[in-house]
Amino acid sequence: MDPFLSDRLSAVRAIVREAGVVALDYFSRRNEIVVSMKGRQDWLTEADGAVETFLRRKIAAVFPNDQIVGEEQGGSGGDAMWIIDPIDGTANFARGDRQWCISVGFARNGVPEIGLIFSPAQDEFYEAVRGHGVTMNDQPIRVAPTHDIGTAVVEIGWSPRRPTDDYLALVGRVMRAGATVKRSASGALGMAHVANGRTDGYAEVHINSWDVLAGLVIAREAGVLINDFCSGPWVTEGNPILCATPGIARDLENLFEPRVTLS
C-alpha cells in the first residue's frame, strides 16, 4: 500500500478507537449531558462537539498539513482531507439506542481513499482502503447475493433537509416494487450494512459528505454499486446517495429520484 495511505490508516485507526472510548463515556452519561435541537428532528449533544474536537486535535497533531472538515465545526476541504462525523445517529445516541457511530473518511484529490466507521456501543469497527479490501472487526465483508427485489431489504434515510413527501414517495415506490424498507437513523452505518450484507441498499435524496465519505470506501470495497456522490460542491453541500448490491442495482436505479447511475 502507498505509504502516504498506510501511515494515515494506522495512525487514524488508533485515533478513532480512542475517540470511541470518549464517545462511549458520554453515552453512558447521556442523561447528564447537554442535549439540544439544531432544528426540527436535528439533535445535538455535548458529545458531538467534544468528539469532533478530540478527533481534530489528534489528527492535526500527526498530519498538520491535512485539511479537516467536520459536521459540527465545518471546513471546506482540500487536496488531502479528512471528513468527520463525530457522532452519526445523534438522535439514537441521545435516546439510548446503540445504533450510532464515529465516521472518518479521507479523500485525496477528490477521490475517497480511506473509510473508518466505529460503532463503539456495538463493538463493530469497519475499515477500508481503496483497492485494498474492507473488514469489520478484522474479518473481510461482502455484499449480499440478493437478486430479487421481492426479497430485498432497503434502508431509506430521512432528514428534515428535504420535503417529507419526497421521502414518502420513494418509500412507496420501493415497497410497491416488493422490497421491505427500514430506517435506522445513521447514514454511515446504513452504508456499512449494505457492505456486510445486512441490507441490500441505502438510499437518501440528500445526505452530507460527513455522513458518507467513510461509507463510500467501505461499501465500494465490499462490492456495492454507488452513484457518483463526489461531484459538484459535494464536500460542503452534499448530494443524493444511492447504493445497492449488484443484483438489485438496476431496480433501485429505476425507482430513485433524482436520476442517478450506479457503477
- Footprint of ligand IPD on this chain (CB under 6 A)? 71, 85, 88-91, 157-159, 185-187, 204, 207, 211
One-letter amino acid for residue 203 of the chain: A
> Is residue 85 part of the contact set for Ca ion (CB under 5 A)?
yes
Shortest CB 110 distance to ligand IPD, Å: 22
Q: Which residues, 211 to 230, sit near Ca ion by CB under 5 A? A: 211
User: Of 1, 51, 4, 9, which Cα lies nearest the Cα of 26?
Assistant: 51
CB-nearer residue toward ligand IPD: 9 or 207:
207
Shortest CB 107 distance to ligand IPD, Å: 19
CB-nearer residue toward Ca ion: 70 or 197:
70
Shortest CB 210 distance to Ca ion, Å: 6
CB-nearer residue toward Ca ion: 179 or 243:
243
Number of residues assigned to the chain: 263
Question: Taking CB within 5 to 8 Å according to partner kind, which of ligand IPD, Ca ion, none is near residue 52?
Answer: none
User: Can you state the percent helix, strand and coil of the chain, rounding each to 5?
Assistant: 40, 30, 35
CB-nearer residue toward ligand IPD: 101 or 255:
101
Shortest CB 71 distance to ligand IPD, Å: 6
CB-nearer residue toward Ca ion: 88 or 155:
88
Shortest CB 23 distance to ligand IPD, Å: 12
Question: Taking CB within 5 to 8 Å according to partner kind, which of Ca ion, ligand IPD, none is near residue 158?
Answer: ligand IPD
> Is residue 204 part of the contact set for Ca ion (CB under 5 A)?
no
> Is residue 88 part of the contact set for Ca ion (CB under 5 A)?
yes
CB-nearer residue toward Ca ion: 83 or 143:
83
What are the DSSP calls for the chain, one per residue? Answer: --HHHHHHHHHHHHHHHHHHHHHHHHHHTTTTS-EEEEETTEEEEHHHHHHHHHHHHHHHHH-TTSEEEETTTB----SEEEEEEEEESHHHHHTT-S--EEEEEEEETTEEEEEEEEEGGGTEEEEEETTS-EEETTEE--------GGG-EEEE---TTS-HHHHHHHHHHHHHTT-EEE--S-HHHHHHHHHTTS-SEEEEEEE-HHHHHHHHHHHHHTT-EE---S-SSHHHH-EEEEEE-HHHHHHHHHH-SS-----
Give me the residue whose beta carbon is nearest to ligand IPD: 157
The Cα–Cα gap between 4 and 1 comes to 8
Shortest CB 162 distance to ligand IPD, Å: 9
Question: Taking CB within 5 to 8 Å according to partner kind, which of ligand IPD, Ca ion, none is near residue 115?
Answer: none
CB-nearer residue toward ligand IPD: 9 or 188:
188
* Binding stretches for Ca ion (CB under 5 A): 85, 88, 211
